[in-house]
Amino acid sequence: MPEIRPVTPVLGAEVANVDLAKPLSNAAFDAIHDAFNRHSVLVFHDQALTPEQHIEFSRRFGPLMVHVFAEDLLEGYPEIYRLSNVVVDGVRQGRPDAGQYWHSDLTYEERPSLGSVMHALEVPAVGGDTMFCSTAHAFEQLSPVMQKILEGLTAIHEFGHAFGRSNTTSIGVAQETLDRRPPVEHPVVRVHPATGRKCLFVNPGFTVKIKGMSDAESDLLLGFLYRHMTRPEWVLRHKWCKGDVVMWDNRALLHSGVGDYDASSPRHMHRTTIEDVPSG
């Protein structure tokens, strides 16, 4: 059976005694699923997965989503999005510098994602970590007055918002790609369906503004929430090792890649994204 080892008091756990390349028993999967809901980030070390095995494991949590960046999908496996700075014969092997800002994957979709599963195929010798913060814990640390205010608000999310920022990818995005994802609206506070915890659901990457507020009001409130959610004492920083599989709960956290590694240091990842399908 899997052994669950918490990493921080707020979020994150390592999972030992599991080979994800092999079919999991129902009992083993249930233990992993429960740990995922409780800890939001799970780390499995020393995994060697084929694309088929990666997809099979991910799909046990729900249907998989296909990323809008079609050119960065793994050929023959559209469920796998490649994050990579590797170039072969002049052709890049994935999206470089991806996600180097706080965000939750695919909140710009009408139906956002449940979680993501990323497999490290190549990692830099130094740098290239990923940071995580719990939006559930952050909500619980707010005053009751602020909690009540936020529960009545709606936020506007847009895919193109991230690409208007100077701290994001240097690779251009075609206008037609941006147009395929028009703005959507989501509550500022979501209830996690498995735990019942209330989670903040805004992020610097894709949240444009708070609906019904002026730009100045929205910027002030969102700026406060972003600083609050990412307080250093609440952040888990994962240093990748080759073979790591890390899965995270996009309903209950934000994450950010750290772009501190040299461009000549290969960083090549495969990621699947699980759709958040309402129960019932």
* Angle in degrees, CA 122, 102, 70, rounded to 5: 55
Concatenate the DSSP letters of all residues of 137-182 into one string. HHHHTS-HHHHHHHHT-EEEE-GGGGGGSTTS-SS---HHHHHTS-
Q: Is 30 a catalytic residue?
A: no
What residues have CB less than 8 Å from 244, skipping those under 6 apart? 43, 44, 45, 47, 119, 120, 123, 238
103 is an active site residue: yes
For residue 246, which phi and psi values (nearest 5 degrees)? -120, 130
197 is catalytic: no
Catalytic residue check, 228: no
Find the angle CA(137)-CA(139)-CA(145) to the nearest 5 degrees.
145
As a whole number of angstroms, the distance between CA 225 and CA 210 comes to 12
Please pick, among 105, 244, 249, 276, the residue that the annotation labels catalytic.
Answer: 105
Choosing from 82, 103, 267, 270, the catalytic residue is 103
Q: Among residues 95, 137, 270, 271, which one is catalytic?
A: 271
Rounded to whole angstroms, how far apart are CA atoms 48 and 18? 12
Instruction: Determine what percent of the chain falls in helix, strand and coil, rounding each to the nearest 5.
Output: 25, 30, 45
Catalytic option among 255, 267, 270, 276: 255
Annotated catalytic sites, by residue? 103, 105, 255, 271
